[in-house]
Chain A
Amino acid sequence: MSFDWLSFWEFLPRMLQAALVTIQVSVLAVGFSCLLAPPLTIIRLIAPWPARVVVGVFVEIVRGIPPLVIIAFVYFGLPAIGLMFDGFWTGVVALTIVGVAYAVEIMRSAIESLGRGQREAALALGFPVWRTYLELLFLQALKRTLPPLTNELANVIKASALLSVISVHEITQVGNALIFETFVVAEIMVQMTILYLIIVGALSTLSRKLESRLV
Chain B
Amino acid sequence: MMPHQSIAPRPRAIERGLLNVNLTYMFDVLVRLLPALGLTIALSITALLIATPIGLLLGSFRASSSSSGIIARLLDIYIFFVRGTPILVQIFIVYFVLPALGVKLALFWMGVLALVFNSVGYQIEIGRAAVQSVAKVQWEASRALGFDDRSTLFRFIMPQAARRMVGPVMNELSQLIKASSVLSIITLFELHKSAESIISADFRFVEVLVVEGFLYFLFIYTLSFFAVRLERRLSSSDGLVEQR
The reply to whether B182 and A75 form a contact with Cβ atoms under 8 Å apart is no
Interface residues on A, range: 35 or more
Report the separation of the CA atoms of residues A167 and B10 in the bound assembly, to the nearest whole angstrom.
12
Report the separation of the CA atoms of residues A172 and B178 in the bound assembly, to the nearest whole angstrom.
19
The reply to whether B213 and A197 form a contact with Cβ atoms under 8 Å apart is no
Q: Chain A's nearest CB lies how many Å from the CB of B214? A: 9
Give every chain A residue within 8 A of B100 (Cβ-Cβ).
185-186
A124 within 8 Å of B by Cβ?
Answer: no
The reply to whether B92 and A64 form a contact with Cβ atoms under 8 Å apart is no
Give every chain B residue within 8 A of A63 (Cβ-Cβ).
220
The reply to whether A81 and B19 form a contact with Cβ atoms under 8 Å apart is yes
The reply to whether A67 and B178 form a contact with Cβ atoms under 8 Å apart is yes
Report the separation of the CA atoms of residues A185 and B100 in the bound assembly, to the nearest whole angstrom.
10
| Interface residue stretch chosen among A13-21, A113-121, A129-137, A158-166 | A158-166
Give every chain A residue within 8 A of B220 (Cβ-Cβ).
63-65
| Interface residue stretch chosen among B1-9, B51-59, B66-74, B106-114 | B1-9
Q: Chain A's nearest CB lies how many Å from the CB of B132? A: 17
The reply to whether A80 and B85 form a contact with Cβ atoms under 8 Å apart is no
Give every chain B residue within 8 A of A162 (Cβ-Cβ).
86, 88, 182
The reply to whether A166 and B6 form a contact with Cβ atoms under 8 Å apart is yes
Q: Which of B5, B15, B88 has the most chain A CB within a 10 Å cutoff?
A: B88
A8 within 8 Å of B by Cβ?
Answer: no
User: What 1/0 flags go to B175-196 for Cβ under 8 Å of A?
Assistant: 0011111101100000010001
User: What 1/0 flags go to A177-210 for Cβ under 8 Å of B?
Assistant: 1011000011001001100110011000000000
Report the separation of the CA atoms of residues A73 and B7 in the bound assembly, to the nearest whole angstrom.
12
A-B contact count (CB 8 A): 131
| Interface residue stretch chosen among B76-84, B135-143, B145-153 | B76-84
With A64-B216, A64-B221 as known contacts, state yes or no: A159 contacts B86, CB within 8 Å: yes
**Chain B, 1-35, CB within 8 A of any chain A CB:** 2-3, 5-7, 10, 14-20
Task: Tell me the nearest residue of chain B to A60, going by C-beta.
Answer: B221
Q: Which of B86, B182, B192 has the most chain A CB within a 10 Å cutoff?
A: B86
Report the separation of the CA atoms of residues A165 and B199 in the bound assembly, to the nearest whole angstrom.
15
With A73-B213, A76-B205 as known contacts, state yes or no: A158 contacts B87, CB within 8 Å: yes
Q: Which of A75, A77, A164, A200 contacts B88 (CB 8 A)?
A: A164
The reply to whether B184 and A68 form a contact with Cβ atoms under 8 Å apart is yes
Q: Which of A68, A75, A167 has the most chain B CB within a 10 Å cutoff?
A: A68
A interface residues with partner B (beta carbon < 8 Å): 60-61, 63-69, 72-73, 75-77, 79-82, 84, 154, 158-162, 164-167, 172-173, 176-177, 179-180, 185-186, 189, 192-193, 196-197, 200-201
Q: Would you give 24 A-B contacts (Cβ < 8 Å), ordered by A?
A: A63-B220, A64-B216, A64-B217, A66-B178, A66-B181, A67-B178, A68-B192, A72-B196, A73-B213, A76-B10, A79-B10, A80-B205, A159-B86, A165-B7, A167-B5, A172-B86, A172-B88, A177-B5, A186-B97, A189-B92, A192-B85, A193-B85, A196-B84, A196-B85
